Amino acid sequence: MRIVEIYALVGSSGTGKSHRAMTVAYEHDIDTVIDDGLLVQEGQKIAGSSAKGEPTALKAVKRAILVDPEHALELKEGIRRIQPEKILILGTSVKMVDRIAAALELPSICHYFFIEDVATEREIATAQALRKNYGMHVIPVPVVEVKDDLPGYLMNPLRYFLSKKPGQSQKSGEKTIVQPKFSAVGKLIITNHALAQMSQFIAGNVAGVAKINKTTVNAESGNAIISIEITGHMVPELRRAPQNIQMDVQEKLTLLSGINVEQVNVLVRSIEHRSSQGAGKTDKIEQIHKE
């Protein structure tokens, strides 16, 4: 594989990433884009199927981050077939685009573009209003390329023209505007309390954990930071418990909720062990360190 450079365009959901992707790609001589489960080269769909075709927002997120191994394999085979030199990956966070790159076994991302750097505040606000009020999504390929993925959907073509670069003619193309089913049927809302409950359940099943003392969730724009405070068992498994909690919560919470988990912080507040009489006893971690 001759890929030498992987780029990313990062922005919250509904800020116009797909709309701006062609401009960013054109300005940096990138001819291949990965967006919402699709591998696109020069406006042509190479592999994958759009997350916009999923019936729910949860399934759409899973498709976008390539949870399905067969979907990821299809994109990997498409990349091997076209052998691009540069790829632009779109996502709602740095964590998300890194995850997509890893799922496709691509090199590390060499540069991150952020939507605030390529679109004005007014343009971002307009994109957010169109998403909120009309459920409008943009797919960076012509209607003919995605009509089989989205049967029965109302789709409209959107022509675009890119400014001339020195020594080059003006570039034009077509994008597709679509209202996905998950936008038409309403919003999917998962409260922080529900995310905390799921995180507690997942962490509570990790070896070495005696109980979960506290869980806090900070979730914005489909991304979450989870903080978990535990009491640990005095067992050998305790040493790896925090790392196992981080891995399990990040992976399983994403699968269960569709939320992109950016960070999992684990604090071992205290240690629980049993005395020779069998009675339970809890020591503060600071005390154990002093012994």
Q: What pTM does this model have? A: 0.57
- pLDDT confidence of residue 139: 53
75 closest CA partner among 66, 85, 84, 62: 66
Can you tell me the distance from the alpha carbon of 41 to that of 19, in angstroms, rounded to the nearest whole number? Answer: 15
Same domain? 154 vs 279:
no
- pLDDT confidence of residue 171: 53
- pLDDT confidence of residue 52: 64
**What size, in residues, is the chain?**
291
- pLDDT confidence of residue 145: 45
Same domain? 107 vs 159:
yes
Same domain? 197 vs 151:
no
Same domain? 206 vs 235:
yes
Give me the domain span that covers residue 203. 192-290
Q: In what side-by-side order are the strands of the sheet with 155-162?
A: 137-139, 171-178, 155-162
Can you tell me the distance from the alpha carbon of 220 to that of 55, in angstroms, rounded to the nearest whole number? Answer: 22
Report the CATH number at residue 228: 3.30.70.1350
- pLDDT confidence of residue 130: 66
105 closest CA partner among 140, 72, 128: 72
Can you tell me the distance from the alpha carbon of 271 to that of 291, in angstroms, rounded to the nearest whole number? Answer: 13
Same domain? 218 vs 275:
yes
> pLDDT averaged over consecutive 10-residue blocks of the chain (291 residues)?
82 84 85 88 82 70 86 94 93 92 94 92 80 60 49 46 51 50 56 90 94 90 85 92 93 77 92 60 43 30
